[in-house]
Structure 1
Amino acid sequence: MSPLRRVLLWALALFSVLLTSNQTLASQVTHHRFHSEALGRDYPYTLYLPDGYYNSGLDYPVVYLLHGSFGTGRDWTSKGALKRVADRLIRRGDIPPSIFVMPESRSWWVDGYNEPARSAFLLDLMPHVEELWRIAPGREWRGIGGLSAGGYGSVNLMLEHPQLFAAAAALSPASYHPLPPVNSTAREHPAFLDEDNRFDEERWTSLNYTAYLDSYLQQERVVPLYLSAGSSDVFDAVGHSRRLQAALLPHQPGQVPMEVFSGGHTWRVWRASLAPALKFMFQHLKAPVPTDASRLE
């Protein structure tokens, strides 16, 4: 074999090793499902794992991202560019390597008329993913965020269960008080339609964030919350978010920032909001920690 051919083959082998290594270490977005007892069916979710997950020996912080009305868990990656945004923030050191879980709900993240989405999230999804994947155990490593109906869900869950989440974000949250606007899809969503197919105002009130607000304000523990909305939002998300912000600020001064972006109730606004929302949440979440040996047994 000639020296030139030997060098070329060596270079090709080295390139193959490097390519394989990069593929192994690159961040990954995958889709999964498991059986949910609460739902009585499979529960799908989309998962982001950071670069180096499989050989890092670390347990990671996790952020649950909730989709909007009639959306899916895949929206965050297909429309929101979650992978690109997370990769960039991690590469720049703006956030630590982290896991993102993007579940699917048919019921606005509440125990609605059509399915017990809230119970399935708390009792099935969270225990499942935090056992299966290397997620650091404890509130200090767990955040929750959402857009539109998912923002509504994330606000409800953080207020009802502040012991579970160290930070939250709500992008154009559909946290409408006292009732949804007449053009809101909440008024036609099966989660809130009674047996006569009519929007149930009492049901909405009993499930909205105001039902959890007094209890949350009476305790010392706080969950820092990032809010955003579009300047031309057709559901007045700016106004509703400011009312939510005003209710929380006396309890947690400086921990309910709000940004208004140019645009409506659209992915243009949510994509613009995503990076600042994540950067805010990770100011309050702990970094990865060495995996407990007991979790490897």
Structure 2
Amino acid sequence: MKHLLLLSFSLLMTLHLSAQHPYPPVGKVQMQKLNSTILNTERDYAIYLPKSYTTDTLRQFPVLYLLHGLYGNHKDWSERGHVADVANQVFDSGMADEMIIVMPDAGTDWYGYFNMKGWEYERFFFEEFMPAIEKRFRIKGDKAHRAIAGLSMGGGGTTAYAQKHPDLFASAYAMSALMALPEFGRAPSTDFKMQELNQSVTANSCIDHVIKADEAGKAALRSVRWFVDCGDDDFLFDVNLDFYRAMIKAHIPCQLRVRDGGHTWEYWHSALYLALPWVSNGFGK
């Protein structure tokens, strides 16, 4: 009986102290859905809201659209990239200002971020998804406070989206990016959806876009901050290097970071520690 009384007292004291000293708020990832008329289906997405989103209900935030890779989905960056843990650490340390991070799903049903037969994902992203997100959440919806980043297939989507819409993005951070279809990816595939993806990547080659750009196009590309981050053992290293060389030849400022690593989540998780401060430094400029 005595031990039971002591246990009850200890529990009451713990609850009392917890009420006096509650855990501080932290940024969290939420899973959400959005209905699409263009795609004729419901689309999933994940969104990270920083801690100040709940503590300062009048504040608006810059936004980063963070894209996943092939065979991935909207959960990848939270479950495999641990984006909330990285963001909370980076923001709390003062290395970057708080931002909202939006992670769409371009891997369920089809592959890729471009328009394909029966799957106009690029139209959906710009005509439905982005406007709906920036209306629903307290986002500063202008170029100066909007950035995009992504890995592999999403790195190619990142670069192509910012190339086509330089008026919408302040910064673009491409990780291990599918900038163009590499030689080994040109072999015929029996997967119809993969065939469509390969054709769309070729049609939206980020390298060709730079090479073929006229002076007005190059000037528009210079209004975006560019960062290419690729491991020295990555099978997409050559196409990332080709893109960087094309940018330098066209006199378009572009940062290149080559680190030890391959096409792995260990690499992309670590890239977030570089990407978030770099993206933050570009907001409002």
| TM range, smaller chain | 0.7 to 0.9
Q: Deviations over 1:2-31 (max 9, x none)?
A: xxxx9x978844522532x63xx3211110
Q: CA distance change for structure 1 residues 148 and 220 in 2, over 3 Å: closer, same or farther?
A: closer
Q: Deviations over 1:128-170 (max 9, x none)?
A: 1100000012111100000000000000000000000000101
Q: Distance in 1 between matches of 2:179 and 2:188?
A: 11
Q: Deviations over 1:183-232 (max 9, x none)?
A: 589967645526xxxx865x543222245431531537521111111211
Q: How many residues align?
A: 270
Cα RMSD of the aligned pairs, angstroms, is 2.8
Report the TM-score, using the length of structure 1 for normalisation.
0.81
Identity %: 26
Among 132, 136, 146, the alignment partner of 1:132 is 136
Offset at residue 278 of structure 1 (A): 1.8
**In the alignment, does 2:207 pair up with 1:206?**
no
Alignment of 1:189-200 (within 5 A): 190-191=192-193, 193=195
What SS does structure 2 have at the residue aligned with 1:63?
strand
**Structure-2 residue corresponding to 1:37:** 37
Q: CA distance change for structure 1 residues 200 and 39 in 2, over 3 Å: closer, same or farther?
A: same
Structure 1 unmatched ranges of 5 or more: 1-5, 288-297
What SS does structure 2 have at the residue aligned with 1:59?
coil
Q: Distance in 1 between matches of 2:264 and 2:39?
A: 29
Structure 2 unmatched ranges of 5 or more: 1-8
Q: CA distance change for structure 1 residues 48 and 185 in 2, over 3 Å: closer, same or farther?
A: farther
Among 134, 147, 151, the alignment partner of 2:151 is 147
- Name the amino acid aligned to 2:135: E
Report the TM-score, using the length of structure 2 for normalisation.
0.85
- Name the amino acid aligned to 2:195: L
Q: Distance in 1 between matches of 2:265 and 2:12?
A: 48
| Preserved CA contact (<8 Å) 1:170 1:226 | yes
Q: Distance in 2 between matches of 1:144 and 1:185?
A: 30
**In the alignment, does 2:268 pair up with 1:270?**
yes
**Structure-1 residue corresponding to 2:257:** 259
**Structure-2 residue corresponding to 1:62:** 63
Q: Distance in 2 between matches of 1:251 and 1:137?
A: 30
Q: CA distance change for structure 1 residues 271 and 9 in 2, over 3 Å: closer, same or farther?
A: closer
Deviates more, 1:165-174 or 1:52-61: 52-61
